[in-house]
Structure 1
Amino acid sequence: MKINKFLNIKSLAILALSLVVLVACNDDDDFGTDTDKIVAKIFDFSGPTLVSLGDVEQFSVTPRAGSTFVWEVTGAEMEAIEGATHKINVNYNQIGVATISVYEVAANGSTSEVSSQNVDVLSLCSWSVEMNDTWGDSWNGAELQITFDGAVDLAPVVMALTDDDAGYKLESFSAPVGYDMTVTFVSGDYDEEISYSIFDASDNTVYSVGDFTYSIIPPAGVVYTTTVVCP
């Protein structure tokens, strides 16, 4: 009886020791600790690709405990954010192309590859278009297309009245200095209801067409071209 009791106690002791060894192996195996296994890598590197001269915009990456992120900015001014190395502010103080770069230094000392993004810095100013519809509804498929031709390819600006606009809207858009701008009117149904005016950055009317008498139909095609100048 005493022998069986002794054997049971000994068996329990061996089992407990085995569990301790097993847990220890799971926490620190042949590959090292979890920290040792970290592979430095940049995740969710984000920020603008087009800005206006004088803008201050933020770049960021996904943070990771114990990691430090090292940034480099050329063609603009970097502004560090206290207490956070995973994001910075960038002051775009010169026209041209700015380059934003970052890499991670992980808790185990490993470093990631450098991630970089170019940002086109243009001098932008605000132009606007006043749109009307005599019937008080949408432009019925008609629209204005505003395109820019310059050193950087820019997406066209498309404007039109919708049913939600109740026949009137004043909408602004950014125009880059030195670019050739073309405004094209695309015809829809009931163009005789449409009138609109284009205003430059100084609020001067540079083009206007249509009225409230249905007697003037806005012409389709290119209606206005200019090289953008800002005050």
Structure 2
Amino acid sequence: MKKINKFFTYSLVFIASSLFVLSCEDDDIESDSGKVIPKIFNLQGSTLTFENSTSTYAVTPPRGGSEYIWTVTGAEVKPISGRTDKINLYFNQTENPVSVSVVEKAFNGLVSEASQIDVTVVCNPKPGVYRIEMHDSADDGWQTDGANGGAGITVNVDGNIVEFGMCNPYEDSEFDCPTGDFSNAEATVTIPEGTISATWSFPGDEYGEISFEIYGPDNTLAFASGGPGETEAGQLPVVVCAN
């Protein structure tokens, strides 16, 4: 019986000690709250958009417990219910410059420096058939974001994705092979009447061998990539106005 009582006593002492340590740790957590430094890790959103279109801008990754405060000029803010880490913007004009900035206000009241994106708003795209001339300086087709092939150029036409590129002899492509060979080929993309936005994106150039030109419906040059390897992955500034 004495052994049991002794064991029970030791157990109570151990539990009490543990609670004391946990209490101290909680105090440390509370005192560390002032050490949280707010910072915008990544502000994502398009730098080129279209009149009468809506785009999303977001902080990634957002921090739990923080509030994000946005400042927007030249566009209409469409808040997203229950979220401060992202907003929708409606672009209703092309004349004025648009800037989007955001700060993080942490739970301890500290506020970060602002992160900003400047946005160019362009006209709605001219409908019709766009012609793309594609070239490869190594005469073995395109290797974009893959060592043997990869994705093609994509066009986001009001949410519908069109993909094209130059095929190669190494692997099957996700897109239809255009007219031509592994050195030069030609593709077309049709922009329907009434389209609000058509965003062109290039996936990259694995070996620095790719070049291409994009011509509008009136056969004027809308974009030229330059020499092989000169264009980096990302959105292409293809602007041919409807009016």
Assess same fold via TM > 0.5.
yes
Task: Say if 2:124 and 2:241, in contact at 8 Å, map to a contact too.
Answer: no
**How has the CA–CA distance of structure 1 residues 94 and 140 changed in structure 2, closer, same or farther, with 3 Å as cutoff?**
closer
Q: Does the aligned pair in 1 maintain the 2:48–2:119 contact within 8 Å?
A: yes
Cα pair 2:216 2:240 within 8 Å, conserved: no
CA separation of 1:131/1:49 partners in 2, compared to 1, >3 Å: closer, same or farther?
Answer: closer
Identical positions, percent: 29
Q: Secondary structure at the match of 2:71?
A: strand
Corresponding position of 2:88: 89
- Per residue, is there more strand in 1 or in 2? 1
The aligned counterpart of 1:69 is 68
Q: Aligned partners of 1:6 and 1:160: how far apart in 2? A: 81
Q: How far has the Cα of 1:44 moved from its partner? A: 2.4
Letter in 2 for 1:119: V
C-alpha RMSD over aligned residues: 4.1
Match of 2:12 in 1: 13
Q: Corresponding residue for 2:37?
A: 39
Say if 1:139 and 1:162, in contact at 8 Å, map to a contact too. Answer: no
The 3 A distance-change label for structure 1 pair 166 and 15 is same
TM-score, normalised relative to structure 2: 0.53
| Pairs within 5 Å for 1:132-143 | none
CA contact (8 A) 1:46 1:60 kept: yes
Give the C-alpha shift of residue 23 in structure 1: 1.6
1:75 is displaced (CA, Å) by: 1.6
Unaligned stretches of 5+ residues in structure 2: 140-163, 169-176, 181-185, 192-213, 222-238
Structure 2 counterpart of 1:58 = 56
Match of 2:101 in 1: 101
How high is the TM-score relative to the length of structure 1? 0.55
Deviation per residue, 1:185-209 (Å, 9 max, x gap) = xxxxxxxxxxxx9553xxx5669xx
Match for 2:52: what amino acid?
G
Contact 1:73 1:101 in 2 (8 A): yes
Letter matched to residue 64 of structure 1: R
Give runs of ≥4 in structure 1 deviating > 3 Å. 4-13, 33-38, 126-132, 138-142, 159-163, 204-207, 227-230
Deviation, structure 1 residue 46:
0.4
CA distance in 2, matches of 1:117, 1:25: 44
Q: Would the alpha carbon gap of residues 48 and 21 (structure 1) be closer, same or farther in structure 2, given more than 3 Å must change?
A: same
Aligned partners of 2:51 and 2:122 also within 8 Å: yes
CA contact (8 A) 2:165 2:178 kept: no
Q: Deviations over 1:102-128 (max 9, x none)?
A: 112222332222211111122252464
Deviation of 1:85 after TM superposition, in Å, equals 1.3
The number of equivalent residue pairs is 166
Q: Which runs of 5+ in 1 are unaligned?
A: 133-137, 143-158, 174-196, 208-226
CA 1:131–1:52 in structure 2 vs 1: closer, same or farther (change >3 Å)? closer
Shift of 1:21: 0.9
Contact preservation (8 Å) 1:77, 1:92: yes
AA at the equivalent of 2:62: P
Q: Which runs of structure 2 are paired with 1:165-184 in the superposition (5 Å)?
A: 165-167=178-180, 169-171=187-189
Quote the residue 2:117 is aligned against.
117
Amino acid at match of 1:63: P
